[in-house]
Structure 1
Amino acid sequence: MLWENRQSNYDKYPKIKIKEIDELSSEAYEGYADIVSKIKATVENLHKEKVVIVLDYYHGVRVEELQINLIEKLNPVKTFYAEEARLPEKILFKKLARNITDDRVFGVLSVHKINEFYDELKIEALKKQIDEIKQGLIIIYGIGASLITKGDILIYGDLARWEIQQRFRSHELDNWGVGNYDEDILRKYKRAYFIEWRVLDRHKREVFEEMDFLIDTNKKNNPKMITQKAFYTALEQAVNQPFRLVPYFDEGVWGGTWMEKVCDLKRVKNNFAWCFDGVPEENSLYLDFKGIVVEIPAIDLVFVKAKKLLGEKVYARFGAEFPIRFDFLDTMNGGNLSLQVHPIIDYIQQNFGMHYTQDESYYILDAKDDACVYLGIKEDVDKNDLITALKDGQQGKVFEADKYINKFKVKKHDHISIPAGTIHCSGKNSMVLEISSTPYIFTMKLWDWGRVGLDGLPRPVHLEHGEKVI
C-alpha cells in the first residue's frame, strides 16, 4: 500500500514567490515596528494639517492587539470606533432570524450589505465629529470603518477563514457583536458561513479597490503588510502560473492514519479525517515577498481575478466563485463516513438560497482489501420503508445499511460518481480524493452509525431535509 514505509514529500507550506516588477510592487513589511514606521512616513508625505487613517478589517481580527501595537503607536489626536454605530444585536437578530434559523447546521444565505448593520444617524454623527476636527492625525477603526469615510489612508486587515475557525473553537472569538463565545461551534460556524462571511466578503471586495495597504493578521503579534500595488501584482502573477493553496487538516470521529504518515502530520489527540487542499473559500495563499510571507484568504484571488482565473464561460455561470473543490477524506484504520445525501438543485435553491448544488465524486487514492463505498438505494427497496428505518435509527434502533443501500468494494484508482440526491458514504479503510462542486456545507446526514461527535454531542442528522431529496 502507498502509505506504508513511505518518505513524505507533501508540501504543507506552498508559497508563491512574487517577482519584483518595480520597487513598489514588492513593498512588504513585517512586524508592528516596521508597519508603524511605514504608515508614519506615508502620513508625513501627505503634507496635510489633518490626516484621516481608516482601519477597516474582517471579523476575527484581534482588535486589542491593533489598538495597543498599531493605533496607539501612531499617536492620533483622536480615535473613533466605527462599531459604536452598529445596530444592537437584538435589532439585528430580528433582521437576520430568517437567515440564522433554529437549525444547528443550516441557515439561509444572506444577501445583506454591511451598511444594513449600522445606524445611519450614528454614522452621520461620527462624520460630523470628524469634520469638526481641523488638524492632527485621526484614526477610525472597526469592521466597516470605511462606511464613515475612506479617509486619506485606507488600511484593510484580513485573515484566513481557517484561522477564524480556530478562534471560534478556542472560545476567543464570538460571532460579530453577538457575545456567544461559548456557543456550540456548529452554530457559530453556521452564522459565519451563511451571514457574516457573505456580508464581509461583499464589503472587502469594494475596499480592495480603494485601500492603500493590506495587513495580514493571522499570526498573533506578527502582522505583515503590503501595499495595494503589491497585492494586485501578486494576484496577477498567481493567476498566470500554476499555484497551490495552503492546506489544512482537521480531525474527525471517523478519521484515519494515512494522511498522518504520508503528509507527515503530528497528531495531538484524534485521527485526521479531512484535508482541505483545494477549496479557495476555505484555504489560504502564501505570497512570498523576498522572505516576508503574507497569508491571504485564497478567495481574495477569486474576487479580484475571477474572469481570468475561471475563464469567461465559468465566470458567466458562477460569478466570482470557484465552483469546484478538492479535499481528502481519510478513513484508513478509521470508520465509515456518515451515510448522507446532498440536495438536488431545486431544493437547495428554494431552501438555502444557493444557486447550485454538490455533485461529487470519490477518487480512491489507496484502499485496504475490505474498503467499500455505500452508493444509492437498492432496486428492490421501497423508499417509505427506508425512511421509516432511518427514523427508527434516530430512536435508538440500529439502521441496517446493507439491507437498503448498495455496497460496492473499491480498490486503488477507482473513481465513483455521486450525483446530488444519491445516498452515499465512503467506508472505513480507504483514502479518498473528493472532487466536487463547491457548496460543501449542505450535507444531509441520514445515519451516523450511532456515534457522537468529538464534542460529545450527537452529530446532527437531517432526515427532514434528506427524505425530500433522495
Structure 2
Amino acid sequence: MPGHGNYDRHPVVALDGAHPLWTGEAVWTQLAGLARATSSPLAVDCYPGVDVGAVRDALSAADPALVVVDVEAEAALSAKDLDELLADELTDDRVFGVLSRRRIGAFFHPGELDRLRHQLARTDRPTVVVGWGASLVVPAEAPVVLADLPRWEIQQRFRAGAGNWRAGNGEEDVLRKYKRGFFVEWRVADEHKRPLLARCSHLLDTTTATPKLVTGDTLRAGLEQAAARPFRLVPFFDPGPWGGTWMEEVCGLDPAPGGQHYAWCFDGVPEENSLRLGLGAEHVEIPAIDLVLRHPRELLGERTFARFGAEFPIRFDFLDTMAGGNLSLQVHPTTDYIQRHFAMPYTQDESYYLLDAEPGAQVYLGLRPGVGLEDVRAALEEGQAGGEVDADRLVNTFPARPHDHFLIPAGTVHCSGAGSMVLEVSATPFIFTFKLWDWGRLGLDGRPRPIHLEHGLANIDVRRDTDWTRQNLVDQVEPVDAGDGWTEERTGLHELEFIETRRHTFTAPVEHDTHGTVHVLNLVQGEAAVVESPDGDFDPFEVHYAETFIVPAAVGRYRIRGTGAGPWRTLRASVRDTERT
C-alpha cells in the first residue's frame, strides 16, 4: 500500500488580513446588538437543515426584549400542502425524483408573506425574522444574516432523525429524505441564496454545535481569494457494505462505527463538500457551492460557465474495495434519458483511475459477445427473485492494476471488483446510478439497496461488447508531450464524454496553464508536491499523496514540483472543448 500518512483531512483556505469572528454565545449577543442598531428588522435567513428553533431560542435568550418572528411558522405551507405541491417532483420512487425549477415563494402562503411585510414595515421595536425565506419579508435595505451549512452535514442530520424542511418526516427512509433535498430543497435554496451571498451583512456558520459568525465582507473576501488560487475542499468519508481498508490507513481515519469499513470519499465535489476559510487560528466552514454561485466565471472560466452555468461539472471521489467487496453491477443513463425522465441537463459519464490494486483485482466493463438485453433481464430478474446472478457470464472482466484508467461512458454496464482503490473521475450528477445487481447483500440500514432494473435495461448499450470495450475503454493512453524530467499523456475519457484527463509523470517541475477553464487534479503518486505561481500571484500550495485539489480558471499559468519521495504523478481533469492539445 503506497500511503505516506500525510493526507490532510482538514484543509483550510487561509484568508489574508485581519477579520472579526464571534463564536458561541457571543454570536447571539452580536446579532441582538445588530437588531437594536438598525431601524429595519434583521433577517436571519436559514438554509434548509439549519435548526431554526435553536436560532430563535438563542436570540430570545440573548435579549428577551427582542421580537423574534419565525417566518416559517407564520407563513409556510403545511406539510400536507407541501407534499401535494411536490408530488410530481418527488415521485413514488425511493431514490429518483424530477429536478425542481420552483422558486422559494411557492412554499409559502402569498397572503401571509404580504401580511408579514406590512406588519414588519410598521414595527418600531427591535425585531429579528428567522427561518428559510426571512429575507422575503424585510425591506430591501434591511440587514440579512445568511445562516448556512453544507449538504453533507444536512445528510448527517437526516441520519440522526432530522426531517426535510417543514415536512414532518424525521422517521422516513434516509434515501427519501435525501431525494427531497437533492431534487427540490437544495435546488430552490441555492437559487434563493445566490443573491444573499452578495447582500448579506453576516454569515452564520451552523455546521457544528458551536455557531460562528463573520461579516459578509469576510465571507466575500474569502470566496474572492479562493477563486484566485489553488485550494482543497474538506473531504468526507462514508462507510458502505462493500467498503475496504485502504482509506483508513492512507487517510488516517478512525475505524468506522459498527465494525464497518469506509467505502466512499468525496474529495472534490463542491455541491456536497465544505470549504474552510481560515481566520488565523480559527476558521468558518461554508458550503463549497457558495464559491461556485458567487464566482462562477473566475472559478470555471467563461466558456465552461457559458456551457454549464453556475454548476461545477467535474467530480473526483474515492471508491475503496481493498479487502472489501464488489461494487454493485450498474449502468448510468444516457443524456437523452436523464433529460426526459429527471430533467437533468447532462449525465453521469465517468471513469475509474486505479490508485492501487491487489493482485487479481478486476473491473467489470461491457457485455460479453452475444449477450443481449433479454439475457440480462432474465438473469437479473432471477437475482431479484432470490437467485444468484452469474455476472462473469454476462459482463467482461479486465485486470485492474495501479494507474490503469478505465473509461465508462453512460450506457456501459460496469463495476469495480474487490481489491481496488479507485479514483473516480466523472461528471457531477452523482446519484444517477441504476443498480442492476448488488450481489444479494443488504445496505447498512439492513434493507436491500434499491435496484432499478427497468431504468437500467432502458440504458444498457448492447453494442459495447468485448471488442468494442477493449478498443475504446481500456488502456487508451496516448503520449502528448515531454520535456526534461517529465512526460504528459492523455488517458481519456471516451470521445462521448466531455471530460479530458491528462497524466503528468515527473521528476522535474511541470508547467501547466488553465487556458481559461477549471482544472481538478489529484497527486496519484509521490509523497507531496507544491503548486506555485511563476509570477508569484499566489503563495506556494502544498498537496499530498491522494489529495484532490482545484485550480480555478483565473489562475492561468502554474507550476507543480515534487517534494519528499518521488517520482510524482498527477491526474488532471478539465472540460474537453476548452483543453488545448
User: Which amino acid is the alignment partner of residue 421 of structure 1?
Assistant: G
- Which residue number in structure 1 is paired with residue 369 of structure 2? 379
Identity within the alignment, %: 51
- Which residue number in structure 1 is paired with residue 396 of structure 2? 406
CA RMSD of aligned residues (A): 1.4
Instruction: Write the distance in 2 (CA, Å) between the matches of 1:40 and 1:448.
Output: 53
Q: Are 2:8 and 1:16 equivalent residues in the alignment? A: no
Kindly report which structure 2 residues correspond to 1:381-460, keeping only aligned pairs within 5 A, or say none. Answer: 381-460=371-450
Report if the CA contact (8 A) 2:113-2:137 is conserved. Answer: yes
Report if the CA contact (8 A) 2:36-2:126 is conserved. Answer: no
Report if the CA contact (8 A) 2:94-2:176 is conserved. Answer: yes
- The structure 2 residue matched to 1:139, chosen from 125, 128, 132, is 128
Instruction: Write the distance in 1 (CA, Å) between the matches of 2:136 and 2:406.
Output: 49
The Cα shift of 1:36 comes to 3.4
Kindly report which structure 2 residues correspond to 1:94-133, keeping only aligned pairs within 5 A, or say none. Answer: 94-133=84-123
Residues 407-454 of structure 1 deviation map (CA, whole Å, 9 limit, x = unaligned): 111111101100000000000001000000000000000000011111
Instruction: Write the distance in 1 (CA, Å) between the matches of 2:208 and 2:65.
Output: 25
- Which residue number in structure 2 is paired with residue 225 of structure 1? 213
Q: Are 2:246 and 1:258 equivalent residues in the alignment? A: yes
Residues 244-277 of structure 1 deviation map (CA, whole Å, 9 limit, x = unaligned): 0000000000000000011111112210000110
* Pair 333,77 (structure 1): closer, same or farther in 2 beyond 3 Å: closer
Determine which structure has the larger helix proportion and give its number. Answer: 1
Residues 273-331 of structure 1 deviation map (CA, whole Å, 9 limit, x = unaligned): 00110000000001011222100000000000001100111100100000000000000
Q: Give the SS at the match of 2:80.
A: helix
- Which residue number in structure 1 is paired with residue 21 of structure 2? 28
User: Which amino acid is the alignment partner of residue 48 of structure 2?
Assistant: H
Q: Are 2:236 and 1:248 equivalent residues in the alignment? A: yes
- Which residue number in structure 2 is paired with residue 148 of structure 1? 137
Higher mean displacement: 37-46 or 234-243: 37-46
The Cα shift of 1:37 comes to 4.1
Q: Give the SS at the match of 2:366.
A: strand
Kindly report which structure 2 residues correspond to 1:147-166, keeping only aligned pairs within 5 A, or say none. Answer: 147-150=136-139, 152-166=142-156
Instruction: Write the distance in 1 (CA, Å) between the matches of 2:434 and 2:14.
Output: 41
Instruction: Write the distance in 2 (CA, Å) between the matches of 1:226 and 1:316.
Output: 32
Instruction: Write the distance in 1 (CA, Å) between the matches of 2:76 and 2:32.
Output: 29
Report if the CA contact (8 A) 2:46-2:52 is conserved. Answer: no
The Cα shift of 1:43 comes to 4.8
Q: Give the SS at the match of 2:217.
A: helix
Higher mean displacement: 374-383 or 190-199: 374-383
User: Which amino acid is the alignment partner of residue 424 of structure 1?
Assistant: H
User: Which amino acid is the alignment partner of residue 233 of structure 2?
Assistant: L
User: Which amino acid is the alignment partner of residue 36 of structure 1?
Assistant: W
Residues 167-200 of structure 1 deviation map (CA, whole Å, 9 limit, x = unaligned): 10011x1011111111111011011110011111
The Cα shift of 1:141 comes to 1.0
Determine which structure has the larger strand proportion and give its number. Answer: 2
User: Which amino acid is the alignment partner of residue 2 of structure 2?
Assistant: L
Aligned residues between the structures: 456
Report if the CA contact (8 A) 2:60-2:66 is conserved. Answer: no
Q: Are 2:323 and 1:330 equivalent residues in the alignment? A: no
- The structure 2 residue matched to 1:191, chosen from 180, 187, 190, is 180
Q: Give the SS at the match of 1:136.
A: coil
User: Which amino acid is the alignment partner of residue 468 of structure 1?
Assistant: A
Q: Are 2:202 and 1:213 equivalent residues in the alignment? A: yes
Report if the CA contact (8 A) 1:358-1:437 is conserved. Answer: yes
- Which residue number in structure 2 is paired with residue 39 of structure 1? 31
User: Which amino acid is the alignment partner of residue 430 of structure 1?
Assistant: S
Instruction: Write the distance in 1 (CA, Å) between the matches of 2:157 and 2:360.
Output: 39
Report if the CA contact (8 A) 1:375-1:423 is conserved. Answer: yes
Report if the CA contact (8 A) 1:82-1:142 is conserved. Answer: yes
The Cα shift of 1:38 comes to 3.3
- Which residue number in structure 1 is paired with residue 160 of structure 2? 170
Report if the CA contact (8 A) 2:42-2:138 is conserved. Answer: no
Higher mean displacement: 377-386 or 432-441: 377-386
- Which residue number in structure 1 is paired with residue 2 of structure 2? 2
Report if the CA contact (8 A) 1:71-1:139 is conserved. Answer: no
- The structure 1 residue matched to 2:70, chosen from 81, 95, 98, is 81
User: Which amino acid is the alignment partner of residue 335 of structure 2?
Assistant: I
The Cα shift of 1:40 comes to 4.7
The Cα shift of 1:45 comes to 5.1
Instruction: Write the distance in 2 (CA, Å) between the matches of 1:43 and 1:184.
Output: 40
- Which residue number in structure 2 is paired with residue 202 of structure 1? 191
TM-score by length of 2: 0.77
Residues 140-181 of structure 1 deviation map (CA, whole Å, 9 limit, x = unaligned): 11111111114632111001111111110011x101111111
User: Which amino acid is the alignment partner of residue 8 of structure 1?
Assistant: G
* Pair 261,77 (structure 1): closer, same or farther in 2 beyond 3 Å: closer
- Which residue number in structure 2 is paired with residue 179 of structure 1? 168
Q: Which has the higher contact order (CA 8 A, sep 6+)?
A: 1
- Which residue number in structure 2 is paired with residue 239 of structure 1? 227
Instruction: Write the distance in 2 (CA, Å) between the matches of 1:118 and 1:404.
Output: 51
Report if the CA contact (8 A) 2:435-2:456 is conserved. Answer: yes
- Which residue number in structure 2 is paired with residue 352 of structure 1? 342
**Structure 1: stretches of 5+ with no match in the other structure:** none
Kindly report which structure 2 residues correspond to 1:280-359, keeping only aligned pairs within 5 A, or say none. Answer: 280-359=270-349
The Cα shift of 1:62 comes to 1.8
Instruction: Write the distance in 1 (CA, Å) between the matches of 2:65 and 2:105.
Output: 26
Instruction: Write the distance in 1 (CA, Å) between the matches of 2:412 and 2:313.
Output: 20
User: Which amino acid is the alignment partner of residue 240 of structure 2?
Assistant: G
TM-score by length of 1: 0.94
Residues 355-376 of structure 1 deviation map (CA, whole Å, 9 limit, x = unaligned): 0001111010111111000000
